[in-house]
Amino acid sequence: MASVTYDHVWKKYGDVVAVQDLNLDIEDKEFLVLVGPSGCGKTTALRCLAGLEEITEGRVLIGDQVVNDVAPKDRDIAMVFQSYALYPHMTVYDNMAFGLKLRKFSKEDIEKRVQVAAKTLGIENLLKRKPKELSGGQRQRVAVGRAIVREPKVFLFDEPLSNLDAKLRVQTRAEISKLHKNLGTTFIYVTHDQTEAMTMATRIAVMNKGKLQQLDTPQMLYDHPANLFVAGFIGSPAMNFFNGKLVEEEGGMVADMGTFKVRIPDKDRERYQGVVGKDIIFGIRPEDIHTPMYAPPGIIAEPVHANVDVTELMGNEIFLYLVNGAHNFIARVDPRTDVKYGEEADVVFNMDNFHIFDPSADPENPPVVA
């Protein structure tokens, strides 16, 4: 077992910077997820660790060993790719055993490792089949099994669920989380799907444009995003953002969005004193916007009037797509809510849960006002 360290790692392709000054300490036995949009550098960072990409600057360590110049086969890692990369002419058993045969393991040791991995993954009855006889989920289990038999220090997963249908993704997600607990090994997992990241990770590293934006537990990322990008990326549907100005008005502090205003609770006034009079971005999640009849008791509720543009009944909830002036936003409301397309609706913002971002500090990616 081993920790992993990225120490000021850069990866450049000519003038293109794929990974920019990445500093990341991954603890032994941790399940860390690298998440971000396509092209953010997460897969490149993983490939630098695997030795499939040569880093431009910095160091990568597995445990206490710097592995910059260590061949991929000698890094004691195992990688599971988006494509299953199984040999079509080999049986499941031979696919799982192939790497061990190359390393000159004995037949007895190979048999033992393959059988243990197959039992762990529930594929004992598939060992004699060939990949073409398997479903997508079964192929992915075989690919994971091929990694397990090596008993590596670190498992690397590069978007392993992307080729599976929605139901199978949920099932396999749970299986990988369970596998991590059973093996007690360091897992590093790359995905663009923030739901996968939130449900599987012990910690999440959010990346964008080659830079690490924030590293924290899933709940902390959700409750306390560091900047506008993280706030908008974590959570589904995404957080609503409103351009406005923070002003003092009638003895209180108000976020003025032009066509509507919400009062900032007195308990938060000191926190936001430094941005009074400034342009701000006000953020609130869809699940913190309620219809008055079904608002949770005891919240600090600020009323907002809007027109209903679209409704989406999800069974256990309704998504309301609302319009107020130039502002479009989404509310995630109680399924008993009776509003229809084209109607007017009153909603309330839960002012116990909101965020204010300061564009003057960074116009491209405003930080949250701490």
Other C-beta atoms closer than 10 Å to the C-beta of 254 total 18
Q: Is the pLDDT of residue 368 over 80?
A: yes
Task: Write the pLDDT tens digit of every residue in 168-217.
Answer: 788 888 888 988 998 889 999 999 998 999 999 999 999 999 999 999 99
pLDDT for 308:
96
- Same domain? For 45 and 174 the reply is yes
- Same domain? For 217 and 307 the reply is no
Q: Pick the last residue of a domain from 183, 214, 233.
A: 233
pLDDT for 1:
65
Residue 288 maps to a domain: yes
Among residues of the chain, what percentage have pLDDT more than 90? 77
> How would DSSP label each residue in 174-230?
HHHHHHHHHHT-EEEEEES-HHHHHHH-SEEEEEETTEEEEEE-HHHHHHS-SBHHH
Q: Is the pLDDT of residue 151 over 90?
A: no
What gap in Å lies between CA 339 and CA 294, rounded to an integer?
Answer: 13
- Same domain? For 86 and 204 the reply is yes
- Number of folded domains that form the chain: 2
Q: Pick the last residue of a domain from 211, 233, 255.
A: 233
pLDDT for 150:
86
Task: Write the pLDDT tens digit of every residue in 278-296.
Answer: 999 999 999 999 999 999 9
* Omega of the bond leading into 237 within 30 degrees of 0 (cis): yes
Q: DSSP state, 54? A: -
Residue 264 — φ and ψ, nearest 5°? Answer: -80, 130
Residue 362 maps to a domain: no
- Same domain? For 276 and 193 the reply is no
| Residue 283 lies in domain | 240-357
H or E, element range at 347: strand 344-350
Task: Write the pLDDT tens digit of every residue in 60-87.
Answer: 999 999 999 999 989 999 988 877 788 8
Other C-beta atoms closer than 10 Å to the C-beta of 369 total 19
pTM score of the predicted model: 0.90
Could you tell me the two tokens for 178?
A: 């369970």
Strand pairing of 203-208 and 186-191? Answer: unpaired
